[in-house]
Structure formats: C-alpha cells, structure tokens
Structure 1
Amino acid sequence: MPRKPNYDRDELIERARDLFWKRGWAGTSLKDLEAVLQMKPGSFYAAFGSKEALFALALEKYATDGRERLTTLAQKQGPIKALQRFPKMVVESDGAPAKACMLSKTLLELHAHNHPLAHDANLHLLKVEAQFEELFQQAQSAGDIDCSHDPKVLARRYQSDLLGLRVSAEREGVDAHAIATEIASGLNRL
C-alpha cells in the first residue's frame, strides 16, 4: 500500500506559483523548486511529474485565485464598483512576489518559443477577459454604463489597461496608484 504524502499539495503549488511568478519559467530551475518546496528530486517527480506540469498547476492557481477575488469583490460591491476597485487592488498587493501579471509574463516569455504554457496563459487571459465582459454587461443592466458601449470592447480595453498598470507598478519612479485611480475614474465616463 502506497504511503500517504506528508505535505499539503495546495500549499506547495502556492509556493511554486510565487517562485515562478517572480522568476519566470526560464529563471526557475528544478533545484530552485526543490529548495523552495523542500523536496528531493524523487519526491518532486512523484508529486508533480515535471517542472512543466507544476508550472501549469501554478498558472491555474494564479488565474483561479484572481478570478475568485474579482467575483467576491463584485458580489460585495456590485459590478461597477468592483471594476473601479480592482486596479487599486493590483497596485496595493504588497505581499505579491511581483506586480506584473504572471499570465502576461508567461505569455511574453514563452510565446516566441511556441511553448504550450504560453497557450495556457493566453486561455487564462481570455477567461479573465470574459469575466470583465460579464461585469460590464451587468453594469450596463444596472444602468451604470451606457448601453451604446460594446462590453467585449470595454473588457478588452480594461484588461489591456490593467496589464499596462501591472508593468508600470514594477517600474521605479512611476506613480502606479495615480494610474489605477485614472483607470477607475475613466469608468465613470462610460
């Protein structure tokens, strides 16, 4: 009978996510992962199979957590308030390993190599965009946004703004809080 692992798989995926988020795919070695996860090579392979498989799990965790945060925010504050608050949450995430989006970092790093993880990152970005579109539709239904706007176009622009905000938040000398405020206030003009 196989032994039951004496580790919390979800917690290990979170630690791996943070390392991949900070260093990227190429910047994270198997030795780095083994050290952060406190696992020997045999245990690592038994638990996750490969670096690529663990990265896919970490990417899924990152994307799912972000979508859940936005869903919870929208349930508490409503769609337009959630869309206005979300940019500020991006720049106020002091405990995050990086300000830049892990999905976009992965897409940019691996797309040129036609790596399957770049495709995975793009699919996650599309899911987030669809969630933004749904919130814009709800805001229109509530009368908070004029119905002449296409929610899909609004969602794509909003996501693009957030991705740019995340890059700006990584840069020295850039007031990312001011940019977040501008993104939020721009929604009032819709």
Structure 2
Amino acid sequence: MPRKPAYDRDALIAQARDIFWRHGWAGTSLKDLERELKLKPGSFYAAFGSKDALYALALERYAQDGVASMLALAEELGPLGALKAQPYRVIAASDLPTKACMLAKTYAELQAKDHELAGQAGAHMIAMKSCFADLFRRAQKAGEISSDHDPERLAARYQSDLLGLRLTAERDDVNAAEIAADIAADLDRL
C-alpha cells in the first residue's frame, strides 16, 4: 500500500505560485523550489512531475483565484462596483509577492521562446478578460452603464488598464493611486 505524502499539495502549489510570481520562470530553479517547498527531489517529482508542470498548476491557481475574487467582489458591490473597486485593490494589496500580474509576467517572459507556458498564461488572460466582459454585460443589464458600448472591447481596455496599473504600482516615481482613481472615474462615464 503506498504511503500517504507528508505534505499538503494545495498549500505547496500556493507557495510555488508565490515563488514563481516573484521570480518568474527563469529566475526560479528546481533547487530553489525544493528548498522553499522543503521537498527532496524524489518527492518533488512524485508530487508534480516537473518544474513546468508545477508552474502550470501555479498559473491555474493564480487565474482561478483572480476570477473568484472578482466574482465575489461583484456579489458584494455589484458588477460596476466591482470593476471600480478592483484598481484600488490592486494598488492596496501589500501581502502579494509583487503587484505585477503573474500571467502577464509569464507571457512576456516566455512567449518569445514559444514556451507552452506562455500559451497557458495567454489563455488564462483571455478567461480573465471574459470575466470582465461578463461584468460589463451585467452592468449594462442593470442599467449601470450604457448599452451603446461593446462589453468585449470594454473588457479588453479595462484589462489593459489594470495590467499597466499593476506595473506602475511597482514604481516609486508614479502615484498609482491617482491612476487607479482615473480608471474608476472612467467607468462612471460609460
């Protein structure tokens, strides 16, 4: 009978997500992962198979958490309220490994190498954009924004704004709070 692993796989995926998010794919070695996750090489391979397989799981966790967070915020504040609150949440989060988006960082790092993980990051960004588009549709249905706007285009612009804001929030020479306020105010004009 196989022995049950002495680790929590989900907790290790969350921990690995934060390591990869902070350091990127190339900046995180297998030895870094083994040390940080406190796994021996054999246990690492038994649990995840490879660094790329663990990275894919970490990307999926990151994306799922992002969509779930937006949907929970929409339940609390309504669709437009969630869209307006998200820019402030991005810059206020102090417990994140970095404010920059893990999906965008992965895509930018690996797409030139035609790495499979870049494709996965891109697919997750498309899913996040779809979440935003759905929130814009719901806001239109609720009469919170004009139905003259294309929700898909609004979502693409909003995602672009958030990605830029997330990078800007990493800088010390720009007031990211002002930019977050501008993004939220732009939504009021729809």
TM-score range for the pair, normalised by the shorter chain length: over 0.9
Deviation track 1:11-59 (CA, whole Å, cap 9, x = no partner) reads 1001100000000000000010001100011110011000000000000
Q: Name the counterpart of 1:112.
A: 112
Q: Name the counterpart of 1:36.
A: 36
Q: Name the counterpart of 1:148.
A: 148
Runs of at least 5 residues in structure 2 that lack an aligned partner in the other structure = none
> What is the Cα-based RMSD across aligned positions, in Å?
0.5
Q: Could you say what secondary structure the match of 2:169 adopts?
A: helix
CA distance in structure 2 between the aligned counterparts of 1:54 and 1:88, rounded to whole angstroms: 30
CA distance in structure 2 between the aligned counterparts of 1:92 and 1:6, rounded to whole angstroms: 36
CA distance in structure 1 between the aligned counterparts of 2:129 and 2:95, rounded to whole angstroms: 24
CA distance in structure 2 between the aligned counterparts of 1:148 and 1:85, rounded to whole angstroms: 23
CA distance in structure 2 between the aligned counterparts of 1:174 and 1:31, rounded to whole angstroms: 36
Deviation track 1:55-84 (CA, whole Å, cap 9, x = no partner) reads 000000000001100000001110000000
CA distance in structure 1 between the aligned counterparts of 2:12 and 2:50, rounded to whole angstroms: 14
Q: Name the counterpart of 2:185.
A: 185
**2:161 maps to 1:161:** yes
Per-residue deviation at 1:174? 1.2
Per-residue deviation at 1:6? 1.1
CA distance in structure 1 between the aligned counterparts of 2:175 and 2:36, rounded to whole angstroms: 32
Regions of 4+ moved over 3 Å: none
Aligned pairs for 1:1-190 within 5 A? 1-190=1-190
TM-score (norm 1): 0.99
CA distance in structure 2 between the aligned counterparts of 1:177 and 1:64, rounded to whole angstroms: 26
TM-score (norm 2): 0.99
CA distance in structure 2 between the aligned counterparts of 1:173 and 1:96, rounded to whole angstroms: 20
Q: Could you say what secondary structure the match of 1:136 adopts?
A: helix
Runs of at least 5 residues in structure 1 that lack an aligned partner in the other structure = none
**Equivalences, count:** 190
